[in-house]
Copies of this chain bind each other. A is one copy, B any other.
Amino acid sequence: METVYLNGTFLPSAEALISPNDRGFLFADGVYEVMRWYEKGFLAAQLHQNRLKRSLHEIRLYSAEADKFLSIAGELISRNNLEGQQALVYIQITRGTAPRTHQFPLPPVTPTCYAFARAINPEQNESILGVNVGLVNDIRWSRCDIKSIALLPNILAYQEAVEKGFHENLFVRNGVITEATHSNIFYVRNGKVLTHPESVYILSGITRKLVIDLCCKLNIPVEERAISSDELPYVEEAFLTSTSAEVLPVTHLEGVPIGSGLAGPVTSQLQIAFREMVEREIQTV
């Protein structure tokens, strides 16, 4: 039986229960974070914790649980016997349980904190062969930089992708590709790596940041510049980045090859460099 964390207690998943008056359930009034466990350590734990705190700050919620995130995460790995495995730790903090009213509870109530860990099996084939993605209108709100649980727009866009046989959908806002439904998107054009700049229209991905850093270390030219969906057919390579999928080649757009239709050389170089970076970082945990 999976052990999860809820409001200070580690308990069997089936015993973890919340009130339907939780503001996370009634209003999506909360934020979350997902961190990757690599057999013996977390990658970029501090960056994830910092982002969690930033998300909380942006929705004006303070929770002492955010300071405990790393110890909660470690305990979840341990209690679920995930050492030696690949796993994700998920944490969500909401504004707590109170009678339903739009206003923040006054006096404030204790935030709700829920966390769990789960083993994952990264799909090796996709990371070699690449994936096919679609395009969808980005109708989300204009604070996508906050990792909020108000994910219904992402859910609907991702479900549409799945049903069309796409690995992901890319969001297009005013003609510009912002990001994917749960990943950031990069391109290679004229030998330069491109990705949408940090803004309110994308989540500032941790893997996105790590990949930009790797480009700098590897002397690969990199620029934070958005591209239009019209420009997409002309890029040489494209790839997605996310905490769970790392660097994932995008070889087709709605079935049409991007570049050679195979994982490109820059993408492959970054995949290898990313894995080497993981090995180094995890060694030092």
**Most chain B C-beta atoms within 10 Å of own C-beta, residue among A21, A103, A141:** A141
A156 touches B25 (CB 8 A): no
User: How far does the alpha carbon of A153 sit from the alpha carbon of B100 in the complex, in Å?
Assistant: 16
User: How far does the alpha carbon of A92 sit from the alpha carbon of B26 in the complex, in Å?
Assistant: 8
User: How far does the alpha carbon of A119 sit from the alpha carbon of B149 in the complex, in Å?
Assistant: 30
**Most chain B C-beta atoms within 10 Å of own C-beta, residue among A26, A149, A153:** A26
What is the minimal beta-carbon distance from A34 to any residue of chain B, in angstroms?
Answer: 9
What is the minimal beta-carbon distance from A178 to any residue of chain B, in angstroms?
Answer: 13
Q: Which residues of B contact A141 (CB under 8 A)?
A: 139-141, 153
Q: Which residues of B contact A140 (CB under 8 A)?
A: 141
A149 touches B26 (CB 8 A): yes
B92 touches A182 (CB 8 A): no
Q: Which residues of B contact A18 (CB under 8 A)?
A: 17-20, 25
With CB as the reference atom, state the residue of chain B lying closest to A18.
B20
User: How far does the alpha carbon of A100 sit from the alpha carbon of B89 in the complex, in Å?
Assistant: 12
A28 touches B150 (CB 8 A): yes
**Most chain B C-beta atoms within 10 Å of own C-beta, residue among A19, A24, A102, A159:** A102
Q: Which residues of B contact A29 (CB under 8 A)?
A: 151-152, 155
Q: Which residues of B contact A103 (CB under 8 A)?
A: 158-159, 162
Q: Mark A1-42, 1 if CB is under 8 A from B, else 0.
A: 000101000000100111111111111111010000000000
How many residues does chain A have at the interface if contact means C-beta atoms less than 8 Å apart? 53
B151 touches A152 (CB 8 A): no
A152 touches B17 (CB 8 A): no
User: How far does the alpha carbon of A30 sit from the alpha carbon of B26 in the complex, in Å?
Assistant: 9
What is the minimal beta-carbon distance from A243 to any residue of chain B, in angstroms?
Answer: 14
Q: Mark A128-159, 1 if CB is under 8 A from B, else 0.
A: 00000000010111110000111111111011
Q: Which residues of B contact A99 (CB under 8 A)?
A: 118
What is the minimal beta-carbon distance from A144 to any residue of chain B, in angstroms?
Answer: 10
**Cβ of A280 < 8 Å from any Cβ of B?**
no
User: How far does the alpha carbon of A90 sit from the alpha carbon of B148 in the complex, in Å?
Assistant: 24
Q: Which residues of B contact A32 (CB under 8 A)?
A: 26
User: How far does the alpha carbon of A94 sit from the alpha carbon of B114 in the complex, in Å?
Assistant: 19
B25 touches A24 (CB 8 A): yes
With CB as the reference atom, state the residue of chain B lying closest to A137.
B142
**Cβ of A59 < 8 Å from any Cβ of B?**
yes
**Cβ of A181 < 8 Å from any Cβ of B?**
yes
**Cβ of A274 < 8 Å from any Cβ of B?**
no
A25 touches B27 (CB 8 A): no
The 3 tightest CB contacts between A and B, nearest first, are A28-B28, A17-B17, A139-B142
A-B contact pairs, 12 of them (CB 8 A): A6-B20, A13-B21, A20-B92, A30-B152, A60-B156, A99-B118, A102-B154, A102-B158, A103-B159, A137-B142, A139-B141, A148-B152
